[in-house]
Amino acid sequence: MWRAALTPFLLFAVLLGADFQSQAEAQEQGQEQVDVALVLAIDVSRSMSQEELELQRRGYAAAIASPEVIRAIDLGARGRIALKMFEWANDNHLRVIVDWSLIDEAADAQAFSDQVLADRSFSQRRTSISGAITHAAELLEDVPFRADRHVIDISGDGPNNHGRAVTIARDAALEKGITINGLPLMTTGGPGSQFNIPDLDVYYRKCVTGGPASFVIPVTDWAQFPDAVRRKLILEIGGFEPEQPLVQPVQFTFEEPYDCMIGEKIWDQLREQFFLDP
């Protein structure tokens, strides 16, 4: 009986010892420990208008500096996170907006937000979600902090149509222990809508996201965007999976097959029709 009573205590001691060991290793390497290293990967493909690109920037800036996100950071085990943002389009367009930053108080978050707003996005052709995932995974390998979790936060308004298959890039990132969350932009009105698909949320679930507590939060109207980003960041910082109301229901079962090459096929069809470059 006394052995059973000691079991929880021994488990706690082991976990506490492991945490002390990780802290000692981090200090030895001169690294700050953070709850999560989070990469924000922002779509700037030409299917988004300049107005939408600006709305996207303002939405991320407002969410990062919001009191709710600051509170989520404070509630973490270490009370700090590492954050980096870059924009992506085709497989060759990857541009850092804000480099790795330690966020542990409101002033840090506001400084990050100010840098986001100080820059401006310009749309680029094609959509390479696979390239964005691969680049984000490489950034996480070189993060200058010791993180309990590695997360890629990817937003976009269309399926992959450039670079290698998105499932290959996703699976490679998942093998490294990275979680990928998605913010599919299912809005209308931007240019290049012929390259988009109506069930982008399903595509993100089946082909893009994965890992522990991964999730997808669709945006169907730009008015929803700031709140969606804020909720997404809070969930990613806390490492929690959202409850169903936060996620738009989709009518399918996970056993049904899904064509993760749909974006490439649409591009090939339109390329022949409009004489587009390969």
Domains within the chain, CATH numbers bracketed: 32-274 (3.40.50.410)
Q: What is the pTM of this model?
A: 0.83
Please report the pLDDT score of residue 4 as a whole number: 46
CA–CA gap between residue 118 and residue 114 (Å, rounded): 6
Please report the pLDDT score of residue 275 as a whole number: 52
User: pLDDT, tens digit, for every residue of 106-120?
Assistant: 999 999 999 999 988
Coil, strand, or helix at residue 202? helix
- Helix ranges (DSSP H) in the chain: 2-28, 50-64, 67-74, 106-118, 129-141, 166-175, 200-203, 225-238, 262-274
Mean pLDDT of 76-89: 96
What are 45's strand-pairing partners? 124
Please report the pLDDT score of residue 168 as a whole number: 97
User: pLDDT, tens digit, for every residue of 24-58?
Assistant: 444 444 579 999 999 999 999 888 888 888 999 99
Q: What are the two backbone dihedrals, phi and then psi, of residue 137, each rounded to the nearest 5 degrees?
A: -65, -40
Residue 84 contacts residue 139 (beta carbons within 8 Å): yes
**Residue scoring higher pLDDT (185 or 11):** 185
Mean pLDDT of 125-141: 95
User: pLDDT, tens digit, for every residue of 179-201?
Assistant: 999 999 998 766 666 778 999 99
Task: Return the amino acid letter for 115.
Answer: Q
